[in-house]
Amino acid sequence: MPPRSVVIGVDSSTQSTKAAVTDAVTGELLAVGRAPHTVTGEGGARESDPEIWWQALRLAVAAGLKESGAGAAAVTGIAVAGQQHGLVVLDREGRPLRPALLWNDTRSAPQATALTAALGGPDAWTARTGSVPVASLTATKWQWLRENDPGSAAAAAAVRLPHDFLTERLTGTAFTDPGDASGTGWYSTATGSYDAGLLALLGLDRSLLPEVAATGGTRTGSLTTTAAEALGLPAGIAVAAGTGDNMSAAVGLGLGGAGLLDHPVLSLGTSGTVFAASRTRPVPAALSGFAAADGTYLPLACTLNCTLAVDKVAALLGLHRDDATPGGEAVLLPYLDGERTPDLPLASGLLTGLRHDTTPQQLLGAAYEGAAFTVLRALDGLLRACGLDPADPAVAARPLRLIGGGAGGRTWVETVRRLSGRPLVVPAGGELVARGAAALAASAAGGGDPVAVAASWNTGLDDRQLPPVERDMDTWERVGSVLERAAVPVLGG
């Protein structure tokens, strides 16, 4: 019997690192090692020291290998998928000059507005990058750095995304991929390259940026001796270009190059995200027209406030996260960190509709409803921007794939089910970002399309299939009317 070949897929997210030790042939998940991150900042600030990500990667890989029992000698490849949009600036030795600005740092909202106007408005941006600047995008964070920490901007010898930083630590060479690069605001999905005009607008030297690999599964180097010693892995194993977390989740689901929006996905994590695979480059007005890790496209909409915001409400009420009932007349929009979709970076939470008989459980249920409504309305906007009518029975009947940490929560699943009226599929196995990264690693190590690799691993036999329930239009319309009265622009409204 031939020795087992193992690959490691790394999910470096906002809150933690997970390392999925995976059988390269069967896709069997042998173990998942975990290590936490630290996020600091008050108000709109959200920062992390990139060195913590590297330390967490080392700890997670060690834990995963120990639990799997596979042995380091069996590992043939590794790939990193990371939180999108974060801004990492490095000195000439590859050390961080300052903490990284994370995707959910909203301080660059004024810069987003100014950059949008400087290029001639939203249409000019979407024609080139597929996205309009918002506080989440890396370009707005770079502009904020130039204006608020010019010393660090001037001293920067390299500018990286979070997953680029970690991949470079593994190989000693600087690469990114089209998927994660498409979330920067200086990469053109129209040309498949960095946009020289946008770099000039941002005062960003091209030499500071990594090269762009063909796909996230492209082998961009080998594990260096130094990195191998730090991780306890064999030197010289394949390292893939890697990608952003949403792109990696799509790979993990086996999605890529599908027909237009054949597989809508809703991810419930720190953020709420909706996306789908497409062969056609979308140019949506209020969405992110990202590239996918396999060279196709990944139209996407993202909300800032999802599971963490609802957990905060549960903590304030002294309730367990599943100790919730439908909100009744109460409406709670849990925009605790501002909001990205709709673009309201300075917003705060809104509660209305209280009565003497309103219960704490209803308030928590209202928080779930507000968060789910926001991300489901973003899905409607995604469908419209790509030429589909959400009210069309044929479109509404398409199963919605529910992933992320919230997909394991009873109340999240039932709230999405009730407010969407759609059939749901909850894929088995979990850890889709890490699983997608493992498929990218397998592609780099052995060749082949990573989406096809992941699809061969996924039988779908263990997926949970939930039939539709009658849609709760009373709650849907009640939350929508609160948004309208508050004069809040709602994507796809």
**217 contacts 294 by C-beta, under 8 angstroms:** yes
Give the 3-state secondary structure percentages of the chain, helix then strand then coil, rounded to 5.
40, 20, 40
pLDDT band at 492 (very low <50, low <70, confident <90, very high): very low
* C-alpha to C-alpha distance for 164 and 221, rounded to whole angstroms: 13
120 and 235 housed in the same domain: yes
Stretch 285-304: mean pLDDT: 85
74 and 211 housed in the same domain: yes
Residue 84 annotated as part of some ligand binding site? yes
194 and 307 housed in the same domain: no
Phi, psi of 159 (to 5 degrees): -120, 125
83 and 222 housed in the same domain: yes
357 and 419 housed in the same domain: yes
231 and 279 housed in the same domain: no
Catalytic residue (one of 11, 23, 177, 245) = 245
What pLDDT was estimated at residue 286?
A: 61
The tokens for 403 are 């992933």
Q: Is residue 208 part of a domain?
A: yes
Strands, DSSP E only, in 58-181?
75-82, 88-90, 100-101, 158-160, 175-176
* C-alpha to C-alpha distance for 196 and 1, rounded to whole angstroms: 53
Element (H, E) at 289: strand 288-291
Q: Is residue 451 part of a domain?
A: no
16 and 115 housed in the same domain: yes
Beta bridge partners of 280: none
390 and 328 housed in the same domain: yes
Last residue of a domain, one of 217, 246, 275: 246
Stretch 241-267: mean pLDDT: 83
Query: Is 288's pLDDT higher than 70?
Result: yes
Q: Is residue 445 part of a domain?
A: no
Domain that holds residue 468: 257-426+463-493
pLDDT in tens, 49-90: 999 999 999 999 999 999 999 999 999 999 999 999 999 999
pLDDT band at 234 (very low <50, low <70, confident <90, very high): very high
Last residue of a domain, one of 216, 246, 276: 246
The tokens for 437 are 């990264």
240 and 290 housed in the same domain: no
Q: What does DSSP assign to residue 270?
A: S
CB atoms under 10 Å from CB of 40, counted, come to 11
CATH code assigned at 71: 3.30.420.40
**244 contacts 379 by C-beta, under 8 angstroms:** no
pLDDT in tens, 468-491: 999 999 999 999 999 777 755 444
201 and 305 housed in the same domain: no
Q: How many domains does the chain have?
A: 2
200 and 293 housed in the same domain: no
Q: Is residue 441 part of a domain?
A: no
412 and 474 housed in the same domain: yes
pLDDT band at 3 (very low <50, low <70, confident <90, very high): low
Is 245 annotated in the active site?
Answer: yes
